[in-house]
Chain A
Amino acid sequence: SQTIHQWPATLVQPVGSPLSLECTVEGTSNPNLYWYRQAAGRGLQLLFYSVGIGQISSEVPQNLSASRPQDRQFILSSKKLLLSDSGFYLCAWSVEDSYGYTFGSGTRLTVV
């Protein structure tokens, strides 16, 4: 069966510090991978998606970046965090859009 792992679960980082969040998927090949952010009291905002190794599309201009070094690994990064980067970061995977997404457990990031 397919599983998705996301870590860390919580993170408190100072403004200006770097960020690296990792997501891995097991039990499937060539999944579509997504990074979403959910700010407090707000909806899900798509940040990045990837349909294959090295293929990254950005939905929202920001100081975040994403990489997919391996088929089932998706990394979200930042060189310098802003206060506005605080939120709940969710990784998700799908085979195709008609089957919906499966989300990871999420990382709650607080930038202080």
Chain B
Amino acid sequence: QKEVEQNSGPLSVPEGAIASLNCTYSDRVSQSFFWYRQYSGKSPELIMSIYSNGDKEDGRFTAQLNKASQYVSLLIRDSQPSDSATYLCAVPNYGGSQGNLIFGKGTKLSVKP
């Protein structure tokens, strides 16, 4: 059974700090990795995708991928209260349903003013 694991949290950080969200996955052939942000009561929104080992930066967000360790993380610099949400990690289900993404259960982030 292919799995995506995330710490459910809640992760609480002060405003202005760096929030670090982690995700591990079981399928070694995974090539694409996605981070979604879900505000309470809303649908998930794609915020980052990463395909190669290393770092990918987009504004205050940095995704880090280590395929050898089957580990992907999301760093949020200068965290703001508006970043408070649940962050979902997702990887494609290769060999399974076409185009099916496997989602982790998400990490709830709370940024305190």
Q: Which residues of A contact B (CB under 8 A)?
A: 32, 34, 42-44, 46, 49, 51, 57, 59, 90, 94, 96-106, 108
Residues of B within 8 A of A44 (CB): 44, 88, 103
Residues of B within 8 A of A99 (CB): 32, 49
Distance in angstroms between the alpha carbons of A59 and B98 in the assembled complex: 11
CB contact list, B35-87 vs A, under 8 A: 41-46, 49, 51
* In the assembled complex, B25 has its CB within 8 A of some CB on chain A: no
| Contact A103 to B45, CB < 8 A, known contacts A44-B88, A98-B32 | yes
Q: Contact: A98 with B31, CB < 8 Å?
A: yes
Return the 9 tightest CB-CB contacts between A and B, nearest first.
A43-B105, A97-B92, A103-B43, A32-B99, A97-B99, A44-B103, A106-B43, A100-B34, A98-B32
Q: Which residue of B lies closest to A36 (CB)?
A: B103
Distance in angstroms between the alpha carbons of A63 and B84 in the assembled complex: 35
**Size category, B interface:** 20 to 34
Distance in angstroms between the alpha carbons of A98 and B100 in the assembled complex: 10
Q: Which residue of B lies closest to A94 (CB)?
A: B99
Q: Name the one of A43, A100, A105 contacting B43, with C-beta atoms under 8 angstroms.
A: A105
Q: Contact: B104 with A43, CB < 8 Å?
A: yes
Residues of B within 8 A of A42 (CB): 105
* In the assembled complex, B101 has its CB within 8 A of some CB on chain A: yes
Q: Contact: A32 with B104, CB < 8 Å?
A: no
* Most chain B beta-carbon neighbours within 10 Å: one of A46, A102, A108: A46
Q: Contact: B101 with A101, CB < 8 Å?
A: yes
Q: Which residue of A lies closest to B91 (CB)?
A: A97
Q: Contact: A49 with B49, CB < 8 Å?
A: no
